[in-house]
Amino acid sequence: MTRALRRRAALFALAAGLWLGCPVALAPEDATEARRAIVAWLECEECWGGELGAVAALGDDAVPLLAATLDAGLSPASRAKLEAQLGAYYDQAEKRGAAALRWSRKDFVAHHLATRDAGYRSRAAEALGRIGGRDAESALRDALAKPQRPSVEQSIREALARL
């Protein structure tokens, strides 16, 4: 098996494992750098460090993980971690008597989870549009065929227009 094929298989396994919240045993040379680049892009706030360019440079090797993110959003493990963080933040604000708490805890957490999930999906779409190719286009078209939040649908349409 060639190094490129081994790396692509490793990234596909990583995508499946991340989404399912399962640990995936991968050879570090096959996926670590690619995973770091993709996570940096999905999570950057200012994004001035060339994060999108680093993901685009991975080319087809990044497509499986980006397609999985576009399709499913946050992984169950990431979702659970963020949910706990948001709940703790809400609880601290409530203890301080924050007058700005307009929502119930459940609504606050749900809103911010949905916003982060949409951000991940939109960034995945943008990266797929930058990478291009048959697999990236297929992932974008598949996602567009499903109901999406308007901001995510717009990102998908913009990515497809780039191709």
pLDDT of residue 2: 59
Q: Which domain holds residue 10?
A: 3-162
Closest to 102 (Cα-Cα) out of 117, 90, 88: 90
pLDDT classification of 10: cutoffs 50, 70, 90: low
Q: How far apart are the first and last CA of the chain?
A: 30
* Separation of alpha carbons 77 and 83, rounded Å: 10
Amino acid identity at 150: P
Asked whether the predicted pLDDT for residue 159 surpasses 60, the reply is yes
Q: Name which of 9, 142, 1 is nearest 65 in CA terms.
A: 9
- The candidate with the shortest Cα–Cα distance to 21, out of 71, 77, 74, is 77
Judging by beta carbons within 10 Å of its beta carbon (0-12, 13-18, 19+), is residue 92 exposed, middle or buried? exposed
The pLDDT of residue 109 is 95
What confidence score (pLDDT) does residue 99 get? 60
Judged against a pLDDT cut of 90, whether residue 8 lies above it is answered with no
Say which DSSP state 9 is in.
H
Q: At 153, list the tokens.
A: 């649908």
Predicted confidence (pLDDT) per residue in 53-107, tens digit: 999 999 999 999 999 999 999 989 899 999 999 999 999 988 888 766 788 999 9
Number of domains in the chain: 1
CA distance readout (Å), 9 to 5, 14, 43, 129: 6, 9, 24, 21
Rounded to two decimals, what is the model's pTM? 0.79
Q: Give the tens place of pLDDT for each residue, 14-48.
A: 554 444 444 343 355 556 788 889 999 999 999 99
